[in-house]
Amino acid sequence: MMPHDHHDHDHPAPPALPPAARRLLALRALLVEAGHLDPARLAEVLHVIDQRSPRLGALVVARAWTDPDFAERLRKDARTAIASIGIDPGPAPLVVLENTAEVHNVVVCTLCSCYPRALLGPPPDWYKSRAYRARVVRWPRAVLSEFGTSLPEQVAVRVHDSTADLRYLVIPERPAATTGWSVERLAGLVGRDAMIGVQRTLSV
Amino acid sequence: MIPELTPGTPVRIARRTPAGHVRVPGYAMGARGIVLSGYGPAEDPETLAYGVRGEPRRVYRVRVSMAELWPGDGTGENDALEIEIYDHWLAPLEGPHDAP
């Protein structure tokens, strides 16, 4: 008898999960069974993570553009300033990096993938790639140009390696011709890549 | 406890390869830089990795010029790396003759 001879009806097999997903599910089941993990708490945490997106960081940037007092507080203590406008800044100390006509900032974590998740959501895959992590500290201008950002010679690059306890948010320059715009409308101009620093110029 | 480093202090990042978890990327080891700011007390990740709360640390943002990291590479003269380094990896530079 052939192995499949018993098939007298259709029952298509579900697609197999990748090995990493199977490991994750097995680990989760074990942790729940052993009482180390509460599934309800896990669902809550996942819900919080799902709420985070670059929109939050964009609101911080737009507020900094329009409110000099907030911008000053952001420079001194970013976490407290951000909490004061009703946005959860996350648990880690946060540093804002302001782009100027003379300086461009770009963020990487060469050791892993540290990222201001509270303000930007989960990092993009390229941010976690070995290529980005290894190359942006070695050839920052070349890597930026691969993202479509060509920096004039006179603009200095600051590469921030987020190796430890701090998180970084780049504040791009406010585009010209946005005078009088509301915070909401300005925030619509600010994307994730600009707040990581691989994009310099915002299009209006 | 290691004496606190004030912003502007010239420092060198240690070059060593202890066994186990190390929180300084190899490319920055041995480089000279300037302290920008300090934070702490911070937990030492190199002992925490093994479930041990070590000495309280300070963590510093240190600016290192790209020319120091990659000499002769033609990177912009003012281009720089800013990196977080724990205090036990930093030593104040002795003077202008503390060559790499």
**A91 contacts chain B (CB < 8 A):** no
Tell me whether residue B100 is in a domain: no
Task: Provide the pLDDT for residue A62.
Answer: 98
Q: How far is B13 from chain A (nearest CA, A)?
A: 14
Q: Does B21 fall in a domain? A: yes
- pLDDT tens digits for range B1-33: 678 999 999 999 999 988 999 999 999 999 999
Extract the tokens encoding A174. Answer: 């406010």
CA atoms within 13 A on the CB side of A93: 20
Q: Tell me A17's DSSP state.
A: P
- Rounded to an integer, what distance in angstroms lies between the CA atom of residue B71 and that of residue B65? 10
Is some CB atom of chain A closer than 8 A to the CB atom of B88?
no
- Is B27 an 8 Å CB contact of chain A? yes
- B36 domain residue, yes or no: yes
Query: In the predicted model, what is the mean pLDDT of residues B84-92?
Result: 96
Using a cut of 0.90, tell me whether the model's pTM lies above it.
no
Q: Encode burial over A48-81: b for 16+ CB neighbours within 10 A, e otherwise.
A: eeeebebbbbbbbbbbbbbeeebbebbeeebbeb
Is the confidence at residue B50, as pLDDT, over 60? yes
Please tell me whether residue A141 adopts helix, strand or coil conformation: helix
Q: Which chain B residues are Cβ-neighbours of A140 within 8 angstroms?
A: 66, 75, 79
The ipTM value here is 0.93
CA dihedral A105, A110, A111, A116 (to 10 degrees): 30
User: What average pLDDT does this structure show over B41-70?
Assistant: 94
Residues B84, A95: C-beta atoms closer than 8 Å:
no
Of the candidates B63, B70, B84, which has its C-beta nearest A163's C-beta?
B84
- Which range of residues forms the domain containing residue B56? 10-92
- Is residue B98 assigned to a domain? no
Would you give the end-to-end CA distance of chain A in angstroms? 70
Question: How many domains does one find in chain B?
Answer: 1
Distance separating alpha carbons of residues A30 and A124, to the nearest angstrom: 29
The rounded average pLDDT for each run of 10 residues, N- to C-terminus, in chain A (204 residues) is 59 86 95 95 90 97 98 97 96 96 98 95 96 97 96 96 95 96 98 98 94
pLDDT at A75 (0 to 100): 97
Closest residue of A to B80, CA-based?
Answer: A158
Say yes or no for a CB contact (<8 Å) between B27 and A138.
yes
- The pLDDT of residue B75 is 74
Q: Which structure tokens are listed for B95?
A: 């003077």
> Do residue A156 and residue B76 have CB atoms under 8 angstroms apart?
yes
Task: Please give the backbone phi and psi of residue A116, each rounded to the nearest 5 degrees, phi first.
Answer: -80, 70
Q: Which one is catalytic: A53, A84, A112, A145?
A: A112
CATH code of B88's domain: 2.30.30.50
Residue B3 forms part of a structural domain: no
A145 catalytic, yes or no? no
Does B1 fall in a domain?
A: no
A158 near B CB under 8 A:
yes
Residue B65 pLDDT > 90, yes or no? yes
User: What does the DSSP 8-state code read for residue B40?
Assistant: E
The size of the A-B interface in CB pairs under 8 A is: 68
- Please give the order of strands across the beta sheet that includes A103-108: A103-108, A156-161, B80-86, B57-65, B32-42, B10-13, B90-92
How much is the pLDDT for A1?
A: 47
Mean pLDDT, residues B59-73 taken together: 94
* Residue B2 placed within a domain: no
Cβ-nearest to B45 among A138, A161, A164: A164
Q: Is the residue at B5 inside a domain?
A: no
**Predicted pLDDT of residue A13:** 80
Are residues A156 and B23, on separate chains, in Cβ contact within 8 Å?
Answer: no
In order of their start, the domains of chain A are 19-50 (no CATH), 53-196 (3.90.330.10)
Tell me B24's DSSP state.
Answer: S
Does A135 reach chain B within 8 Å, measured CB to CB?
A: no
pLDDT value at position B3?
A: 86
